[in-house]
Structure 1
Amino acid sequence: MKRIIIALSVVAVLAAGVVTVVVNTAGDGSVATASGAGPVVPRTDVEERAAEDFSYPGDDPDSVSCPSGLPAKKGATVRCTAAFGKKHQTMEVYAAKVEGDQVSMGFGLLK
Structure 2
Amino acid sequence: MPELQEMPSWAWVVGAPVGFFAIRLLWPLIKQSLDTQLTQGRTESGLLAQVMVERDKALKRADQAEDRADRLFAELADVKAQLQIMAYQLAVANEKIEALTTQLSRRTP
Structure with bigger strand share is: 1
TM range, smaller chain: under 0.3
TM-score, normalisation: structure 2: 0.15
TM-score, normalisation: structure 1: 0.15
Structure with bigger helix share is: 2
Structure with the larger RCO, 1 or 2 (CA within 8 Å, 6+ apart): 1
